[in-house]
């Protein structure tokens, strides 16, 4: 009983709640990201994601375990890619670029919306433990969504930025790069673990959050304090 009591005395419930909220925020961000990819592709003529049950708000359908872990621990990561068949597009390279852009764009909108809701809570519903936890959750959504959007805009295959940037390359180069993107992903994972992207992404993430805080009238200093 003594060992159990010692464990419970050191049990940090606040930290556990924080991890649960971070995981929930990450799941929301990746779900919105991948659903936006699928919806964009569907509107452009490719129903592959719909046919495979990926046009859903069920986060289980979109989880990549390693990508989710990195989102919670490093604030950058990825989800299980939505399947897209470029052969169904009228203009494959252009429509693939639009489909790729839909994911990061949705994350920026989600980040702004989360800060907008946080601002309303801060100005009109101040006080109370529940309000504090909701504020923290919304800030985590804003930060993780901003990070997910910016990370995926890096023009390195297979991230979304590569589909946008490479759409300007000659067809022969474009399709050759696509064939090898799964191998490049291993290098991307290694770079994330080594922290190569940490400094430039942090600069961009906080710059974007500062901009959205200004637009939504949410105190940027409070955001930093609650992180």
H helix or E strand, kind and range, residue 67: helix 65-74
Tokens representing 34 are 């991948």
CB neighbourhood size of 176 (10 A): 11
DSSP code, position 227:
-
| Residue 180 host element (H or E) | none
Separation CA 110–CA 124 (nearest Å) = 21
- The rounded Cα 178 to chain-centroid distance in angstroms is 22
Catalytic residue among 21, 22, 32, 34: 34
Is 181 annotated as catalytic?
Answer: no
What is the Cα–Cα distance from 158 to 203, expressed in whole angstroms?
23
What does the alpha-carbon distance between residue 142 and residue 66 come to, in Å, rounded to a whole number? 21
Catalytic residue numbers read: 34
């Amino acid at each position: 009983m003594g060992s159990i009591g010692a464990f419970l005395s050191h049990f940090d419930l606040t930290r556990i709640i924080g991890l649960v909220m971070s995981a929930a925020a990450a799941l929301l961000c990746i779900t919105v990201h991948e659903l936006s990819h699928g919806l964009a592709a569907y509107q452009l003529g490719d129903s592959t994601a719909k046919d495979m049950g990926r046009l859903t708000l069920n986060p289980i359908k979109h989880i990549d375990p390693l990508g989710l872990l990195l989102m919670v621990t490093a604030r950058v990561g990825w989800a299980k890619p939505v399947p897209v068949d470029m052969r169904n597009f009228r203009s494959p390279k252009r429509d693939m670029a639009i489909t790729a852009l839909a994911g990061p764009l949705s994350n920026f909108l989600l980040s702004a919306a989360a800060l907008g809701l946080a601002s309303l809570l801060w100005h009109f519903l101040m006080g109370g433990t529940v309000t504090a936890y909701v504020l923290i959750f919304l800030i985590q959504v804003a930060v993780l969504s901003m990070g997910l959007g910016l990370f995926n805009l890096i023009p390195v295959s297979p991230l979304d930025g590569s589909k946008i940037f490479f759409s300007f390359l000659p067809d022969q180069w474009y399709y050759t790069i696509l064939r090898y993107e799964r191998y490049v992903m291993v290098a991307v994972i290694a770079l994330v673990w080594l922290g190569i992207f940490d400094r430039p992404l942090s600069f961009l993430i906080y710059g974007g959050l500062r901009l959205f805080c200004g637009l939504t009238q949410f105190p940027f200093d409070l955001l930093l304090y609650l992180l």
